Amino acid sequence: MTISKLYETICQRRDNGKLNESYTACLIAEGEDKILKKIGEEAVEVILAAKVQGDQRLVEEVADLTYHVLVLLASRRLTPELIQAELERRVR
């Protein structure tokens, strides 16, 4: 699944999700503080994986962190393309 497809799925669940059927919809409904808490937890897990848990675990944790960052963006109706544009701007 590409980041764009994942973001699209997150937005669909944000807009149409039933709270008892979608972790994404529930997370967004709980509010930004909950999303930020999850991002913090996942960031710590990325660090731990990088230090002592091996490459496969690192990949898994970065995937979790990426998902939660995309949820934050979707909750604010910001797109991954904005991040891409910012990164491209920095390269110039």
Question: CATH number, domain at 51?
Answer: 1.10.287.1080
Q: Is the pLDDT of residue 18 over 70?
A: no
Structural domain of 52: 3-84
The reply to whether 22 falls in a domain is: yes
Q: How many domains does the chain have?
A: 1
Do residues 22 and 13 lie in contact, with contact meaning Cβ atoms separated by under 8 Å? yes
**Distance (Å, whole) CA 77 – CA 4:** 14
> In this predicted structure, what is the pLDDT of residue 19?
60
The reported pLDDT for the residue numbered 63 is: 98
CA torsion sign, 22 to 28 to 29 to 33?
positive
The overall average pLDDT reported for the chain is 94
Residue 22 CB contacts under 8 Å (≥ 6 apart), including other chains: 13
User: Is there a domain that residue 92 lies in?
Assistant: no
pTM score, whole prediction:
0.92
